[in-house]
Structure 1
């Protein structure tokens, strides 16, 4: 649906103009689609809602979809203008917890024992509860957790049932976000749900399961902070001396080149005080600008930005060891483990 709608919006100046009501750094297709989706949740009788399975619709994509979208935007332009001016992109893609688990597995091989966990760009902090979810790789259970939040992922190029180890003890769970989501606020929860795509009924169920789980535990907290100026300070304030795993997923896409360098400098500063492992699921081209010591990023891999790299950078003082663990769909719908430490993933089709 969003592929068809994106093509329609791109050729409609009236619809494109809606995004001009958003702050410049928030003028993203995802924000417009989320704003419409948010309004549709209480307008399920509209012609447009009939195309949205997450709202009970069953109509297939046809040549009336874009006109229905345009008409809905026209009818609710004032509400959309308000949402676009006041809201920001906020997502918690629970599937990305697969990348976090793989990264923590890698950290454990080098630094066994308990770790503290910090997610930068945490939104509502749901990924901080990664070890409380039920994982299904290639349809087979790969964890003993019984949870209403089921994380599914296809594994390509390897057997999926043996790539996840038992997570270590997590001593602290902290999220950092410029605009944290307060899950006790029904409106904030609804806005988070608005970023689920129309066909993703299972993803909506997983998100709601994770939200319900978060409501029953005080294990994780999310605080207001900036990735480029506050990360090192907040890591230094964590008690203990165990390694800190810093997880980011799509964070770099929201940062300028200068800001990306500033974030990495924050990690470097924090590593002077205690071991820091940066676990990431990010676009190759953006990772290539961060001075990771990965030769594969100096080749064609850096151009494959329709895919994400999962990897880890282990840091102590002025040293760091960087390794790519696999290539994945940006939403971790599938994951391909690296065949060796020098893999540049040219064996994976580019389409």
Structure 2
């Protein structure tokens, strides 16, 4: 549960912890940035005072990543700030000194970046979700519903090309996703027939809006060049495809969409990835109640697939509930950014 009245020491520790996580997830630059920010933030600026005075759980609010996103966006507008970012190499002392100066210079410009949580819409998570969908894709048409869709990049799992490691591949398309699989693999000989797709988000990203695309891109870590290229390709695909993303909370969306019966020969699949923890408890309970009520009405035609954090650190659980079978199965463990999956 979020803690109330986090201290400035809590905030600094959060930045350090987030930095360590970023480094583990393949972004040493963002790890370095967070660690230096932990030392540089000060009550002397309006922005620093707001960050250090954060009143609830900074981790749950992804506070450090809000700051990193704002700084990266500003670096695209200022060549001197951009000189601190990859591919440039800057010594530690110079990096710290110049970053401190920019925090003062962009004090007011950074404040709006604290107002909303980051949305990376990490498309590589489709490389994990694909495995769950293949378990379900046994001569059936799929109606795909996603909660926490952001820009909808993960609503097109059937449209991407996947490199699954050791010479394995699945699919063909303009977006190449590299997610090495290990363990007891899902059935790669199956095809996905997605006949409809729709999602929701409390703050959906309109990809036709250049400012919205820029904001989404700002949360992609700048030293991950392959991830950036993948993001750009997925955005281009989704912009052309125009996914149906409702501006709704998860519970309301599910209550409405699950009220309609599923046609014969189809399977309705609810999916989500690394978003459940960010919903208030009441919203979680209401959303799950809507899913389980729909499962009780027509279980054979409803499944619930998710990649979400649990008590085990380092990876997320890949869970599948097929209401026709009446049980939840942990299919395996997946990397939070979709970089790998191990199937049980």
Q: TM-score range by the shorter chain?
A: 0.7 to 0.9
Quote the Cα distance in structure 2 between the aligned partners of 1:154 and 1:310: 15
1:190 aligns with 2:214: yes
Contact preservation (8 Å) 1:31, 1:89:
yes
Quote the Cα distance in structure 2 between the aligned partners of 1:144 and 1:107: 16
Matches within 5 A, 1:209-228: 209-218=233-242, 220-228=243-251
Matches within 5 A, 1:139-178: 140=167, 142-147=169-174, 149-157=175-183, 164-178=188-202
Residue 279 of structure 1 corresponds to 305
Q: 1:72 to 1:267 in 2, by over 3 A?
A: same
1:134 aligns with 2:167: no
Residue 4 of structure 1 corresponds to 32
1:33 aligns with 2:61: no
Instruction: Give the aligned length.
Output: 306
Quote the Cα distance in structure 2 between the aligned partners of 1:157 and 1:306: 17
Quote the Cα distance in structure 2 between the aligned partners of 1:34 and 1:16: 15
User: Once the 2 structures are TM-superposed, how far is the Cα of residue 249 of structure 1 from its aligned partner?
Assistant: 0.5
Q: 1:139 to 1:75 in 2, by over 3 A?
A: farther
User: Once the 2 structures are TM-superposed, how far is the Cα of residue 256 of structure 1 from its aligned partner?
Assistant: 3.4
Contact preservation (8 Å) 1:20, 1:27:
no
Quote the Cα distance in structure 2 between the aligned partners of 1:49 and 1:184: 26
Quote the Cα distance in structure 1 between the aligned partners of 2:189 and 2:54: 43
Q: 1:321 to 1:30 in 2, by over 3 A?
A: same
SS in 1 for 2:226: helix
SS in 1 for 2:236: helix
Matches within 5 A, 1:203-282: 203-218=227-242, 220-237=243-260, 240-241=263-264, 242-274=266-298, 275-282=301-308
Runs of at least 5 residues in structure 1 that lack an aligned partner in the other structure: 286-303, 339-351
User: Once the 2 structures are TM-superposed, how far is the Cα of residue 144 of structure 1 from its aligned partner?
Assistant: 4.2
SS in 1 for 2:222: coil
Name the Cα RMSD after superposition.
2.7
Runs of at least 5 residues in structure 2 that lack an aligned partner in the other structure: 1-28
Contact preservation (8 Å) 2:85, 2:222:
yes
Contact preservation (8 Å) 2:150, 2:204:
yes
Residue 301 of structure 1 corresponds to none
1:333 aligns with 2:319: no
SS in 1 for 2:162: strand
User: Once the 2 structures are TM-superposed, how far is the Cα of residue 92 of structure 1 from its aligned partner?
Assistant: 1.1
1:313 aligns with 2:321: yes
Quote the Cα distance in structure 2 between the aligned partners of 1:205 and 1:307: 24
1:49 aligns with 2:82: yes
User: Once the 2 structures are TM-superposed, how far is the Cα of residue 202 of structure 1 from its aligned partner?
Assistant: 1.1
Contact preservation (8 Å) 1:32, 1:84:
yes
Residue 145 of structure 2 corresponds to 118
Using structure 2 for the length normalisation, give the TM-score: 0.80
Residue 19 of structure 2 corresponds to none
